[in-house]
Chain A
Amino acid sequence: MAYRLTGNVDDARDLVQESLLRIRRGLQTYEPGSLEGWLARIVTNVFLDEMRKKKRRPVHALPDNPDLVLPATAAADDAADAAGLSTEIQAAINALPEECRVPLVLCDVADRSYEDIAATLGVPIGTVRSRLHRGRRMLRAELTSRGVLA
């Protein structure tokens, strides 16, 4: 999930580390319930905090290098095709605006409910619904322009 949100291994590693720190501190306040949801919420909050900071402190990112993003895969054609497709889809996800990307990842990757996503993001469920759908529409357009979808 951290990788799908950030789009690269280095940021995903930092995101997971910071999340682990926050989880350690938050364990005392954790109330038994959906552990998965609680973890997804923490990872999302750490990610959003970092995104807000980056907006205040713009940096020029180096161009993505797919070789660094994905682990080495088997030489089989199928695996290579799958990795290529995965890279294309991840790149298309990265191209989404944050407000659409986060609900999309939370819904389709982390399998969270709209209610849970709304609570995580602090927005109404209707907003989650519209942002998620807009994200899917934009993703479809992006994947079509990349030739992944007809």
Chain B
Amino acid sequence: MTEHHESTAETVADDPRLSAWLDNELAPAERREVDELLETDSDWSDARDDTASVRTLVRDLGAAEPPVGFLEALLTADVTDEHGPDERVTDLDAAHRRRLRRSTAAFGALAAAAAVLIAVIVPGATRAQPALATDVRVHQAGVSSSSDPVSALATLGGLSRLGK
């Protein structure tokens, strides 16, 4: 094969009409042109065969078979749309972050539930006293020790205001 012929063959092989011919994407007039070239020029028919072999390989490959459990995991995954209707989700990393946030939130909720459970199970250990009730008890203790009737009334009045 001469250098000139090789270069001609390369030029033919680079012609995008070959792929379009194989994909049946040529306009009728263009297709007739290529048909004629394929019949008369071996460079064209060789290049067509080369391109066809690659095309067939990829087409035979088809869509990938998902791994076992892929679809199940996808369908049961929590893909709650946290964005507004106008916001476009385009960042795949954001999906990772959202999943992480959901895990963190779930862990936080679990921790809060555990804290409440502990507080109920172990009364006195963590039960909080309302600050106002503590003040009233301190004040009442002071009143009883001082036997001041005015202060005792003031305490009752303060408490009655809370109910209004």
Contacts and interface: CB of A to CB of B under 8 A. Distances in A.
B70 A18 contact: no
Contacts, number: 114
A136 B51 contact: yes
A39 B60 CA distance: 21
Interface in B80-130: 81, 83, 85, 88-93, 95-96
Interface residues of A, number: 46
B132 interface: no
Question: How many interface residues does chain B have, given as a range?
Answer: 35 or more
B63 A3 contact: yes
A71 B53 CA distance: 26
Interface string B15-41: 111111001010000000000000000
Contacts of B149: none
B96 A129 contact: no
B64 A50 contact: no
B88 A50 contact: no
B92 A132 contact: no
Interface string A1-33: 101100001011111111011101100000000
**Among the interface residues B19, B63, B65, B67, which one has the most CB atoms of the partner chain A within 10 A?**
B19
B53 A140 contact: yes
A22 B87 CA distance: 10
B13 A71 contact: no
A114 B95 contact: no
Interface string B31-64: 0000000000000000000110111011101111
A46 B16 contact: no
B68 interface: yes
A109 B62 contact: yes
B34 to A, nearest CB: 12
A149 B19 contact: no
B74 A13 contact: yes
Contact of A4 (B16, B64, B95): B64
18 contacts: A3-B64, A9-B67, A13-B70, A21-B81, A24-B81, A25-B81, A49-B90, A107-B23, A108-B58, A109-B59, A129-B16, A129-B25, A132-B16, A132-B19, A133-B14, A133-B16, A133-B18, A137-B51
Please list the 8 inter-chain residue pairs (A to B) with the smallest Cβ-Cβ separation, ordered nearest first.
A3-B64, A133-B16, A133-B19, A49-B90, A71-B67, A108-B58, A140-B54, A14-B92
